[in-house]
Structure 1
Amino acid sequence: MSMNEPRLLTDEQMRQFITEGYLLLQTDFSSEFHQQLLEQLNYVYSHEGNPGNNLLPRVRELQKVIDHPIITGALTSVLGPDYMLHAHHHGHFNNSPQPGGWHKDSYFGYGRIRNHHPWWAMIMYFPQDTPVELGPTGVMPGTQNYATRVFEQDESESEAKASGGAGTFALIAYDIWHRSTANILGKERYMLKFEFMRTQSPTVPSWDHQQPEWVTPAAFSAPIHPHECIWQETWNWMRGEVGSSASAAASQVGEVSSLLEQLNSSSNEERVTAADQLGLLRSNSSADEVVTALAKALEDAYEPVALNAGYALARYGDHGIQALLEGLRHEDRIVSLSAAYGLSVAGAGAVEGLTEALDSEREETVTRAVFALGELRELASDSVPLLIGQLSHPSSNVRISVVEALGNIGQPHDIIVQALARCLKDSDTQVRFMTGLSLAKLGKSAEEAVPSLIEALDDENRYVRAHAAEALYYIGTEKAERALIHFLKIARWCPSTTPASTFYP
């Protein structure tokens, strides 16, 4: 292996990422490199303020961080070799003795349905020695798939903190719950955040993959609810399988009647485990009874139970799919969402019912049906004409979801590209910037959209422009590259120009 070749994650590390939602890793830059980097950050922040999205060009040495083989290897492993460095960067400065609030990062204002599959990830890099007392980022392990904060504020013992020497970084699932922790030393603490997106659906494993079967890690770094059905499906998805829950074989033996009884327990943990175990059993002898019980569990007030019920139902064939389709239309947000996640992994058998749900008068039902179809990718290609019809829907949330789904499905690419090119002129900013990302996923097959992307380079919104530029890069034809180079020449940044040095040195 050459020094610059990406150092891919192992099966064990990937299993930790899937279950816990983060990895702590370490680069091997010299102490002198980090000292110079810290001095430059101190100067920029004290004299110029936070450079925001211009963090990389203003602090040029950071490109060496992004290109480090441990970082490129980690990102390649999770997001595939063609991952995108997103245009949004931010250097977080923390000297507060008070911890920040638990949150998930937004998608630039867009309240999209969050993927359980790793389409997005973040690198949080610490350029200085960061002991716990200096206030490193804290993450709540295993919460990347929860829409609600199901943990208590005072569960500090379960919190994982990204502490370590200079060069430590956290690779985190984009949707994990996290916060800044208390800096009781009061010294400067930087965390440099970079966001990345997968541009291609996985077809083969992109990490150092040796063992095909999912194996649950022997131990977790913090108490985590069991989500074996979710973890197995995510592992299979990253190996290139689509809708693998539909064909999942029973992976363990157990007593159905005792699990059904446990599903009614007053203990959250027991109900979470029972719903998961019933999915793993995939019992044929008592399928009707199990599906009925899981459909009820889909309405559980505790989100981890509802999620496990959704994924378990996806493993029970047409009967389970029908229960999920009923849940999709439920008025409760978490019930409907959990059903959508189940349908998104239920295979080709879910496509017809999801397509029919596009006619619903309820916006949330349509949005979540669109999401599930997009996650089913090529299995949902027959739904494309009806999805394109939804691009005239009055709800921007529906149109945004359709744009993203079309990028994931990809076929038939001619009509998809034509439809997406029109979306670059949508009245809603978020429809336009999601369109650029979807066209980037389509690569060279999106060549017909190049003229529309060139126009989008003049959009009033920074992320519409940035995503149009990314799409041109991934399309990569001669015309696309010429337009991109022209745009970048105009937009180029001089990292040496500051208010105190407008001309020289």
Structure 2
Amino acid sequence: MSSSPILLNDEQMRRFITEGFLILNTDFPEAFHRELTDELNRVYKEEGNPGNNLLPRFREIQQVFDHPVITGALTSVLGPDYMLHAHRHGHYNALPSAGGWHKDSYWGYSKMRNHHPWWAMVMYFPQDTPLELGPTGLMPGTQNYQTRTFAADETPGEAYASGKAGTFALIHYDIWHRSTPNVLGNARYMLKFEFMRTAAPTAPSWNNQTAEWTEPAGLKLPIGRHETMWEETWNWLSGSIGSLAHTAASDEEQISQLAKALEDTYEPNALNAVYELARYGERGIEVLLKGLHHERVDVSRLSAYGLAAAGASAIDGLNDALLSEREETVKHAAFAIGELRHLAENSLPALGRLISHPSASVRSTVAETFGMIGGSSQASVDGLIRCLQDEDTQVRFTAGLSLSLLRSAAASAVPALAAALDDENRYVRAHALEALRYIGTEEAKDILIKSLFNARWCTTTTPANAFYP
């Protein structure tokens, strides 16, 4: 079989955008999965869960993530140079009761979640996983809901990552999900790996045949429909920024109705309103900027998504909002500026002044925004070097990820990244290593290789097999 990635087609991408996940399968022989499951059983019994060392402990798993179905799916959603994140986990489920609905954190809970797919997860099932064995449950279409808009104990429309050994779910990082009851009581493993894109899209990275957005055939969602948001996401993945801007004719009555809907306490309704407002040029931006300063934090947060979709015309108002005395407004404005990327380069001086903001949440958002704006600005690199030395852990590890996005333009950060390899936090260290890899200068490579050799972990050393053979 060819090792070339098997890219998703247009219909699969439409499904991912609307439903937030795809269920796919590898074609390894049954013996491969059986032997891996047997080894998982042995290690979990004798050694416990290896946590972030899952990949080196089970070397066969790398073959899974080199499989062209998985590389093709990840390339399609995250671009060809995606990053395998340092956090990974082998979930074991033998419980007869369901777990709670949740979204995963970003090793800290202050990050504002991206509607655009900057992050994704793969949930890989090495054994046959029928419904009775407790596969992961997914609530379709909820990847962009901050709130759980459905009852905890009533789940109409729930989808399941169920299938033969080798099944995997490619999911939007922020989709609501849970473990389901394992009524058989046999061991059920789900190996979770996380990935992020390291460059914004400039063109479709899937097998794209149709430029225009259309809904997938027979789409049925349990909660809400978001046609404009889906269209905007398709356009973003195709390389467009602010594609909604100025696409609706002026209509004061409609704008007034949307302004009211923006304050709807039912999140799906308000979400539709902010993306529709992004179509209305200056008048829509005016309403969204008012929403950004709204006393309700949820209205402010949702307004930021609309402003991020409204294009370059929103930037001046967002820059003004960076001066707000309210932490949430500043954070939401900085997030929207980051999503506007190179269009917002004139925001860099104001963002630089926020590196000393008293809120760690603001500083972390600013660190992420530097990376998303990209370019070759030394001001961004200098700001991120300062962020690497921040007292807050999330600010520090976000700085490492952002420096990865800047690549060789961040060469002057190499000494600071070398120092970060001694940080007390595992993700600060891991993200510093990734930044050195993506910066790619000889100095960065030398530091990277030395660190990896010093920390080399033997895949066969266990308490029962300490030295030989």
TM-score tier (shorter): over 0.9
In structure 2, C-alpha distance between the alignment counterparts of 1:489 and 1:315, rounded to whole Å: 53
Which residue does 2:382 correspond to in 1?
Answer: 418
Give the share of equivalent positions with the same residue, in percent.
Answer: 64
Map residues 66-145 of structure 1 onto 2, 5 A cutoff: 66-145=65-144
Classify the secondary structure of the residue corresponding to 1:316: helix
In structure 1, C-alpha distance between the alignment counterparts of 2:217 and 2:63, rounded to whole Å: 35
Superposition deviation, residue 334 in structure 1: 1.8
Classify the secondary structure of the residue corresponding to 1:88: strand
Structure 2 counterpart of 1:95, one-letter code: A
Superposition deviation, residue 217 in structure 1: 1.3
Residues 132, 184 of structure 2: 8 Å contact kept: yes
Classify the secondary structure of the residue corresponding to 2:156: helix
Q: Which piece of structure 1 moves more, 54-63 or 418-427?
A: 418-427
Which residue does 1:430 correspond to in 2?
Answer: 394
Superposition deviation, residue 205 in structure 1: 0.6
Which residue does 1:307 correspond to in 2?
Answer: 271
Superposition deviation, residue 247 in structure 1: 4.1
2:429 corresponds, among 453, 456, 465, to 465
Which residue does 2:291 correspond to in 1?
Answer: 327
Superposition deviation, residue 155 in structure 1: 3.7
Superposition deviation, residue 222 in structure 1: 3.9
In structure 1, C-alpha distance between the alignment counterparts of 2:376 and 2:169, rounded to whole Å: 38
Structure 2 counterpart of 1:55, one-letter code: L
Instruction: Name structure 2 gaps, 5 residues minimum.
Output: none
In structure 2, C-alpha distance between the alignment counterparts of 1:103 and 1:307, rounded to whole Å: 20
2:313 corresponds, among 349, 357, 373, to 349
Structure 2 counterpart of 1:177, one-letter code: W
Residues 142, 176 of structure 2: 8 Å contact kept: yes
Residues 246, 280 of structure 2: 8 Å contact kept: no
Q: Which piece of structure 1 moves more, 24-33 or 405-414?
A: 405-414
Superposition deviation, residue 412 in structure 1: 4.9
1:397 corresponds, among 361, 370, 386, to 361
Superposition deviation, residue 337 in structure 1: 1.2
1:375 aligns with 2:339: yes
Which residue does 1:206 correspond to in 2?
Answer: 205
Classify the secondary structure of the residue corresponding to 2:110: coil
Map residues 39-54 of structure 1 onto 2, 5 A cutoff: 39-54=38-53
| Structure-2 change in CA distance of 1:89 and 1:139 (3 Å) | same
Which residue does 1:5 correspond to in 2?
Answer: 4
Superposition deviation, residue 292 in structure 1: 1.4
Residues 355, 383 of structure 1: 8 Å contact kept: yes
In structure 2, C-alpha distance between the alignment counterparts of 1:222 and 1:391, rounded to whole Å: 41
Number of residues paired by the alignment?
A: 469
Classify the secondary structure of the residue corresponding to 1:315: helix
Classify the secondary structure of the residue corresponding to 2:468: coil
Classify the secondary structure of the residue corresponding to 1:176: coil
Residues 7, 206 of structure 2: 8 Å contact kept: yes
1:290 aligns with 2:254: yes
In structure 1, C-alpha distance between the alignment counterparts of 2:272 and 2:456, rounded to whole Å: 48
Residues 124, 170 of structure 1: 8 Å contact kept: yes
Deviations 1:8-46 (A, max 9, x none): 000000000000000000000110001110011001100
Superposition deviation, residue 322 in structure 1: 0.7
Which residue does 1:227 correspond to in 2?
Answer: 226
Give the TM-score of the pair, scaled to structure 2: 0.99
In structure 1, C-alpha distance between the alignment counterparts of 2:427 and 2:402, rounded to whole Å: 13
Which residue does 1:363 correspond to in 2?
Answer: 327
Instruction: Name structure 1 gaps, 5 residues minimum.
Output: 249-281
Deviations 1:119-160 (A, max 9, x none): 000000000000000000000000000000011234433000
Residues 233, 244 of structure 1: 8 Å contact kept: yes
1:158 aligns with 2:157: yes
- Alignment RMSD (CA, Å): 1.0
Deviations 1:458-486 (A, max 9, x none): 11110000000000000111111110000
In structure 1, C-alpha distance between the alignment counterparts of 2:249 and 2:82, rounded to whole Å: 39
1:452 aligns with 2:425: no
Give the TM-score of the pair, scaled to structure 1: 0.92
| Structure-2 change in CA distance of 1:224 and 1:216 (3 Å) | farther
